[in-house]
C-alpha cells in the first residue's frame, strides 16, 4: 500500500447556498483542537458584530482574526474605496501566508475580489501557489472561477435549496452572524 504524504491543501467552498464561511470556521476549530495556529482574513465583511469575533478571543495567540472590508460590496457607496481596501487586504493576506506562522489560513469571501475584478485571478493564484508546502488554505465565496477551481485540491459547492430569507426571516444572531 502506498504511503500517503502530508501536503498543504487548497480548499474552496463556493456556491449560492449558505454555509461557506461556517464550514471554513468549522475547519478552524478542528485545527485549533489539534493545537494548530489559524488565521482568518475576511475580505468583505465590515462593521457588524459577528459572533465569530467574540469566539476568537478564546484562542489568544492561536487564532488571528482580521476583518478587512467595509461591508457588503454589492451595496457599495464608494467602489474605489472598496477596491483599495481589497488590494490592501490581499497584500496583508499574501504577507500572512508568506510568513508561514499558521497551519491554516482562511480567506473568507476572497472569490468576490476576482468576480468583481478588484484583483486579477492570476495574481491571486500565484499568491496561493507560493504558500508554504505544509500550509492549508481555505477560500470561500460565491462564484469561484475556473482557475481557482482548477488550482484547488478540494472544491465544495453549497447549493441553496431552501432559505428562510425567502419567507421574510431576516439574518439572526448565531445563525448568519
72 is catalytic: yes
160 is catalytic: no
109 is catalytic: yes
Q: Is the dihedral of CA 13, 15, 19, 22 positive or negative?
A: positive
Beta strands in 17-125 (DSSP E): 38-42, 63-67, 104-108
38, 102 contact by CB (below 8 A): yes
95 is catalytic: no
Q: Which of 74, 75, 162, 173 is catalytic?
A: 74
Q: Which of 16, 78, 91, 95 is catalytic?
A: 16
48 is catalytic: no
Distance, CA of 177 to CA of 105 (rounded, Å): 20
Q: Which of 37, 59, 62, 72 is catalytic?
A: 72
Residue 103 corresponds to which cell in the numbers above? 497551519
Q: Which of 7, 29, 30, 101 is catalytic?
A: 30
Q: Which of 14, 21, 73, 140 is catalytic?
A: 21
Instruction: Work out the burial of residue 128: count CB atoms within 10 Å of its CB; fewer than 13 is exposed, 13-18 middle, 19 or more buried.
Output: buried
Distance, CA of 104 to CA of 32 (rounded, Å): 9
20 is catalytic: yes
Q: Which of 13, 20, 43, 65 is catalytic?
A: 20
Report the SS3 class of residue 162. coil
18 is catalytic: yes
Catalytic positions, written as ranges: 16, 18, 20-22, 30, 72, 74, 109
Amino acid at each position: 500500500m502506498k504511503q500517503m504524504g502530508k501536503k498543504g491543501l487548497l480548499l474552496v467552498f463556493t456556491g449560492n447556498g449558505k454555509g461557506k464561511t461556517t464550514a471554513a470556521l468549522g475547519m478552524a476549530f478542528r485545527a485549533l483542537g489539534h493545537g494548530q495556529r489559524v488565521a482568518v482574513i475576511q475580505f468583505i465583511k465590515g462593521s457588524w458584530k459577528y459572533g465569530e469575533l467574540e469566539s476568537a478571543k478564546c484562542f489568544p495567540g492561536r487564532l488571528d482574526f482580521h476583518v478587512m472590508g467595509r461591508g457588503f460590496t454589492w451595496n457599495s457607496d464608494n467602489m474605489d474605496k472598496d477596491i483599495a481596501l481589497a488590494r490592501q487586504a490581499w497584500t496583508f493576506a499574501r504577507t500572512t501566508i508568506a510568513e508561514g506562522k499558521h497551519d491554516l489560513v482562511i480567506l473568507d469571501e476572497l472569490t468576490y475580489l476576482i468576480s468583481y475584478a478588484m484583483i486579477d485571478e492570476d495574481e491571486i493564484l500565484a499568491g496561493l501557489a507560493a504558500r508554504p508546502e505544509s500550509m492549508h488554505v481555505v477560500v470561500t465565496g460565491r462564484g469561484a472561477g475556473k482557475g481557482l477551481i482548477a488550482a484547488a485540491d478540494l472544491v465544495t459547492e453549497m447549493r441553496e435549496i431552501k432559505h428562510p430569507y425567502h419567507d421574510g426571516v431576516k439574518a439572526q444572531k448565531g445563525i448568519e452572524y
